[in-house]
Structure 1
Amino acid sequence: MAGFDPSKDKKLKEWRCEETGLLISINQYGEGDPKLQIGPRILKGKDGNDRAPAKAGRLSIEDVDWLYSMIDEIKQELESYVAPE
């Protein structure tokens, strides 16, 4: 196995919850199937700028509510890349 090659890793679509900083994205590695990734989380610093990415960790009710409201759009986008089996 050759190992991970960053040049083969593509982010196809991304959504961000402005309230909690949670990122959801569709990613594809090489010719593999696109897959959904939950996280990282980008929080705002006191100065209003984005801080360094952090693990998504456990989801709050705000995260779950946002994800629930976005899930149909996310599912449609993922299905546009790969049909369910």
Structure 2
Amino acid sequence: MVAVLVIMTAGALLGYFLRKQPKIVMINDKLIMLAVFGLLFLMGVAIGSNPTIIQKLPVLGAQALLIAVVGIAGSVVAGSVVYYFFFHKKY
């Protein structure tokens, strides 16, 4: 855990000192996207090679769909409440 914090702190300090170098920032953005795509691919490989997950995919998919729908509905309700109480014009 300490190693992770040290590496993260070192990266933050390096980013702070290199933030005014547009070429380095642009290259860094591309490298970050490449790393994210690589990690997503490897996660897909790990999931696809796990027979337990593949067998339970219909149940997991249904649960994921339910969580997504409830999350969206809750966000819409919360947004409506916030809009009504803070931004609704009262005539």
**TM-score scaled by length of structure 2:** 0.25
Greater helix content? 2
Give the structure, 1 or 2, with the largest relative contact order (CA under 8 Å, sep 6 or more): 1
More strand as a share of residues: 1
TM-score, normalised to structure 1, is: 0.26
